Amino acid sequence: MSTDPDMRTEDWDGKPLASLIEYIVQTHHVYCRQEVARLQLLFREVLDRHRKDHPELKRIHDLFLQMSRDLSMHLLKEEQTLFPYIAEVEVAVAQKAPVSWPPFGTVGNPIRMMILEHGKATEEIEEIRKLSSDYTPPAEADGSYSALYEGLAAFDRDMQRHIEREDHLLFPRAIAMEEEACRRQSVADR
């Protein structure tokens, strides 16, 4: 139930940013939303049965809830504002057409915000990892408990890949592309 463990980041070199964006949304964003919903149900079961003996479960759940709420807004900001703008600049650059500058100034501004939000989500999932002893269920764990920890471990791995693809592949290329469009436009305006 995880995404693409074998897909190497280098495979995206030279490919259009629009296809990288499509890939990120169709795999990581879809997975993230599905898993948040599924894990919430599992949390409910496991908390009902085990919260008394395992008080760390409540803290793990609180962190997961907080992280999920923030992520749901985060994904929307990417899908509705940042990603469409990056795709639009890419088309303009390919067609040597002028870029209409966005209300947020330059792409670096929302990207800085997204990177900060990635940092917060990373801290939360690291805390979850620690509290769950690296997703190791206790000896008396039942099927739901084990499934919850297995699901959280996969969610953690997927989030790392998701963030890596945005922070290290998509965002640097989007910034460079906008700078290039900006340079071209100022030459054309002279």
Are 81 and 110 within 8 A, CB to CB? yes
Shortest distance in whole angstroms from residue 167 CB to Fe ion: 8
Report the C-alpha gap between 79 and 25 in whole angstroms.
8
Q: Which stretch binds Fe ion (CB under 5 A): 38-46, 129-137, 151-159, 165-173?
A: 165-173
In the complex, what is the shortest distance from the CB of residue 6 to Fe ion, in angstroms, rounded to a whole number?
A: 20
For residue 149 the two structure tokens come to 């920890």
Q: How many residues does the chain have?
A: 190
Position 124 contacts Fe ion (CB under 5 A)? no
CB of 45 to Fe ion, least distance (A): 29
Shortest distance in whole angstroms from residue 20 CB to Fe ion: 11
Stretch that binds Fe ion, among 3-11, 80-88, 140-148, 166-174 (CB under 5 A): 166-174
Task: Tell me whether residue 41 or residue 115 sits nearer to Fe ion (CB atom).
Answer: 115
Give me the sign of the Cα torsion angle 9, 12, 13, 19: negative
Q: What is the DSSP string of 87-108?
A: HHHHHHHHTTPPPPPPTTSSTH
| Cβ atoms of residues 148 and 42 within 8 Å | yes
Which range touches Fe ion (CB under 5 A), out of 1-9, 52-60, 105-113, 161-169? 161-169
Q: How many residues bind Fe ion (CB under 5 A)?
A: 3
Q: Does 166 bind Fe ion (CB under 5 A)?
A: yes
Residue 127: name the closest of 187, 56, 22, 39 by CA.
56
Residue placing its CB nearer to Fe ion in the complex, 33 or 38? 33
Instruction: Considering only the stretches 77-85, 92-100, 169-177, 182-190, report the one whose residues sit in contact with Fe ion under the rule CB under 5 A.
Output: 77-85
**Residue 90 near Fe ion by CB under 5 A:** no
CA distance 115 to 57: 28
**Please, what is the angle between helix 108-131 and helix 143-164, to 10°?**
150
Q: Write down the least CB distance from residue 24 to Fe ion, Å.
A: 5
Could you list the residues that contact Fe ion (CB under 5 A)?
78, 114, 166
